[in-house]
Amino acid sequence: MSKRPVIESEKPAWHDEDDDNVVVSVPKKVKKTFQVEIKRTTDDDNGELNSNEYIGRLQTAFKKRHGAPKWAATSAEDDEEGSLLKTAAGYLAKDVKLPKTTIHTNLLKDFNIGHRYSRGITAVKFHKTRPVLIVGDQGGNVQLFKVSQEVKKDRFLQSATFTKFPIDSMEIAGQGLTVICSSSRQEYLMQYNMETREVTQLKPPKTVPKQGIQLFAVSHDSQFLAIAGHNSHVYVLHAASMEHITTISLPANATCIKFFPSHSREMWIICETGQVVIANIGLNGAQTKQHTFTDDGAVHGTTLAISQHGDYFATGSDTGIVNVYAGSSCRDSATPQPLFNVSNLVTSVSSIAFNSDAQLMAICSNIKENHIRLVHVASQTTFKNFPERNGKVTHARCVDFSPSGGYLAVGNDDGCLHVFHIHHFADY
C-alpha cells in the first residue's frame, strides 16, 4: 500500500526566491465572486501584475472567505505572504481525513440517458483500473458507461443482452477483462468479454446440483468461483476450468458471499438465519477450515461487506440494522461484538459498500424510496445532508464506490442509475 506524502504544515515555504520579481498574467476570465479581490479597474489592459501584488491579492481573498484558523496563527513578526502559505499548507495536511459534519456531493444527471431500461438494476460495479461503470439488470442487460465529470449527453460505451436471463448477481473477473453474471432462472452462468465482446455460457460440473444460480462470488485474482446452493451448501470451483474443488456446508442458505479482498482462498458468507461463516478453502485434499459466529442481534441476514484491507466487516439484516465489526475480532471469537451499528434504515438492507480507505460506508434498502445513507466510519455517524432533499433516490438495490472513492453508483429497482461525485476523494 502506497504511503501518502507527508505535508509539513508547521514549516511551510515562507519565501521562494524564484517568485521574486516575476510578472504574473491574471486570467481574463475570472469568476464573478473573485473579480473584486483579484482584478482591479486600475490594472493594465494586459492584466500583468508583480508577483508580490498578485500573492497579496490572493491572500486577501482567502482570508475574506475562510478567515485565519487558530492552528495557522502566526506571530506579529510573520509577514503576510508567509501567513497565507502556512494557512494553505495546513488545509492540505488536514484534508486527508474526511470531515464528519457534511459531505459534498453532486449528482451526475442523466447518467444513463437514452440507455435506461424499465427493468430493475441489480448490480453496479466499477472497473478497478479503467474509468468504467458496469451495470446489470433484470432484463438480462449488461451495460458499460464511461465515468467522468464531463458534461456529456451520452456516456454509453457498449452492452450485451442475455436472453431469458434476468441478472441477479454480477462480478468482474478474468483480471478485469470479463463480466460473469448469474440468474435464479438458469442453471448456468453467462460470461461477457469486454474486449472481444464474446458471450460464453459457463456450465457448472455435474457434481453441482442443477438449480437456478441466484448468488455467486469470484476471488480477487479470478482463480476461484463460489456458487450458493439451495441446500445450505456453497460449491467452490476453479474459475478457469469450472472444476469442482470442494463443498462448504452452512447452517442455512447463504444470502451473500464475499471473498476476502487480499486472500483468494478465504470466503465470508452470511446465512439467512444470521450466522456468518469464514471458510478457508483447502486444496489438494486438505480440509477446508471454517469458523462460525452469529451476527449480533440478527434474525435474518441479508448482505455483507468487507473493507479493502479487512479492517472492517459489515453485515445487514431484514430489520434494517447494519453492524460494523473490527475484521480481526471476527476471526477467532464465536461472539464478536460490533464496534457500532447503524439504525437509519428501517427496512431490509439490500447492499453495503466501503470506499477504498474505509472512511466512508454506503448502505441502502430497496423497500422504501430514498432509503440510502452514507456513514462516516471513524465517528460512527451518518451524514445528514445525503441524500439531498431535492435529489431523491428511488428504491436503491445496489451500491458501489469507484477505486479511489470519487464516485458512488446506485442502482434502483425502476431502472434508474444514480452516480454521485464525492468531492473529498480523488476523481476515480
Sign of CA dihedral 29, 33, 37, 40: positive
Per run of 10 residues, the mean pLDDT along the chain (length 428 residues) is: 37 47 60 51 57 65 48 40 38 66 93 92 97 98 94 89 98 96 98 97 97 97 96 96 96 98 95 97 85 95 97 97 96 94 97 97 97 97 90 92 97 96 93
Q: What is the β-pairing status of strands 199-202 and 189-193?
A: antiparallel
In Å, the largest CA–CA distance within the chain is 84
Helix axes 80-94, 51-66, angle to 10 degrees: 50
Phi, psi of 360 (to 5 degrees): -130, 140
Per DSSP, what are the bridge partners of residue 279? 267, 290
In the structure grid, which three cell numbers stand for residue 94, read together? 488536514
Q: What is the pLDDT of residue 388?
A: 86
Q: What is the pLDDT of residue 85?
A: 37
CB-CB contact of 294 with 335 (8 Å): yes
**C-alpha span between 408 and 366 (Å, rounded):** 16
pTM of the model: 0.78
Q: What is the pLDDT of residue 3?
A: 39
Write out the CATH class of domain 105-422. mainly beta
**C-alpha span between 174 and 240 (Å, rounded):** 9
Q: Where are the domains of the chain?
A: 22-94, 105-422
377-399 pLDDT, tens digit each: 999 999 999 998 776 899 999 99
**C-alpha span between 65 and 58 (Å, rounded):** 11
Residue 26 region, left (φ>0) first, then alpha (ψ -120 to 50), else beta?
A: beta
Q: What is the pLDDT of residue 35?
A: 47
Place of cell 494553505: 88
In the structure grid, which three cell numbers stand for residue 281, read together? 478453502
